[in-house]
Amino acid sequence: MIQFDLSEYSKLSDDEYKKEKRKLLIELVKLQEWVIRKKKRIAIVYEGRDAAGKTGSISVLSRYLIPQKYNVVHLGRPSKNESRNWFARYAKYLPNRGEIVFFDRSWYTRALTEVTMGYCTKRQYTYFMNHVLEWERTFQKKGVQFLKFYLSINKPIQQERLHRRASSPLVYWKITENDLRMVEKWDMYTLYKNQMFDRTSSKKAPWVVLNSNNKKIAHLNALRYILQSFDYTGKNVPQPSALSRGLNNYDITISGTTFNNLSYKQYKKLRQLSEVEK
């Protein structure tokens, strides 16, 4: 598991955010062109609690991408057959060659919401946890590259966002009884979340935890992580000078050891070394 956290930058201005976002989105378009040309297959998973900002982050990242060559998958409640054939439900949505696919919740719903709410049996949950990495490796051998993001928010922030949503005449319909029940099961969800991190974070596809208490910072972190994960043509990712202000705010966890308060250069070097060791 990797913690990629710039949450200390609480005073990021709108102008700084817009400038940084524009630079990174330009690079993301370059990355997509490389994916198309080299026929790469990239699956970007977004998981997190209700109101963590998954849909919004995907919307920001995908805004300027070539529409024909990316897809956003957001599946609703599974049928009985889909619940019994869980992996098959998602396999058909994995990216084709030359395509990027964003999953707004994914097969990992079984490891989080489904087991927390009792929507799957313990046997189904156990089967999933025992076989998910094997399933991913099957597609990795076929060229699919997985990036797995978990957007993390604290309880007061979630409650504030849900309250604003419920009070809005435009998006009140997004609040469901299920959302409210999930809030009540915060601790149980946390238990299953930690089990997911421990058992389903692999060398080729680790869980990347983004602090989403500040959505803007989460957008930028997701962009930076994606861009640094690939050596695409014309790569020119700017140093985060607009954000750093001389502070050291990067964290990374390698083999169970967490390195805190790193500069961007230190973080980048440690990540490169960890990948060499793999």
Least confident of 8-12, 166-170, 197-201, 245-249: 245-249
- pLDDT of 253 above 90: no
Distance of alpha carbon 152 from alpha carbon 121, whole angstroms: 26
**Does the residue 9 lie in any domain?**
no
In the structure, what pLDDT confidence band is assigned to residue 5 with cuts at 50, 70 and 90?
low
**Does the residue 6 lie in any domain?**
no
**Does the residue 133 lie in any domain?**
yes
Of residues 97 and 252, the one with the higher pLDDT is 97
- pLDDT of 10 above 50: yes
Q: What is the pLDDT of residue 260?
A: 74
**Does the residue 171 lie in any domain?**
yes
- Non-local CB neighbours of 113 within 8 Å, separated by 6+ positions: 105, 119, 182, 189
Give the pLDDT confidence of 99-137 residue by residue, as tens digits: 999 999 999 999 999 999 999 999 999 999 999 999 999
In the structure, what pLDDT confidence band is assigned to residue 252 with cuts at 50, 70 and 90?
confident
Q: Please count the structural domains in the chain.
A: 1
**Does the residue 263 lie in any domain?**
no
Q: Domain range spanning residue 183?
A: 40-213
In the structure, what pLDDT confidence band is assigned to residue 224 with cuts at 50, 70 and 90?
very high
**Does the residue 269 lie in any domain?**
no
Give the pLDDT confidence of 179-222 residue by residue, as tens digits: 888 999 999 999 999 999 999 999 999 999 999 998 998 999 99
Q: What is the pLDDT of residue 11?
A: 62
Distances (CA, A) of 121 to 110, 116, 124, 127: 10, 10, 5, 10
CATH number of the domain that 117 lies in?
Answer: 3.40.50.300
Mean pLDDT, the chain, whole residue set = 90
Q: pTM of the prediction?
A: 0.85
Long-range contacts of 34-37 (CB under 8 A, 24+ apart): 34/230, 34/232, 34/233, 34/234, 35/69, 35/98, 35/99, 35/100, 35/232, 36/66, 36/69, 36/98, 37/98, 37/233
Distance between the two ends of the chain, CA-based, in angstroms? Answer: 14
Over residues 33-49, mean pLDDT: 98
**Does the residue 144 lie in any domain?**
yes
**Does the residue 139 lie in any domain?**
yes
Q: What is the pLDDT of residue 240?
A: 67
Give the pLDDT confidence of 48-87 residue by residue, as tens digits: 999 999 999 999 999 999 999 999 999 999 999 999 999 9
Distance of alpha carbon 256 from alpha carbon 8, whole angstroms: 23
Percent of the chain with pLDDT over 90: 73
- pLDDT of 168 above 50: yes
Q: What is the pLDDT of residue 256?
A: 73
In the structure, what pLDDT confidence band is assigned to residue 6 with cuts at 50, 70 and 90?
low
Q: What is the pLDDT of residue 8?
A: 43
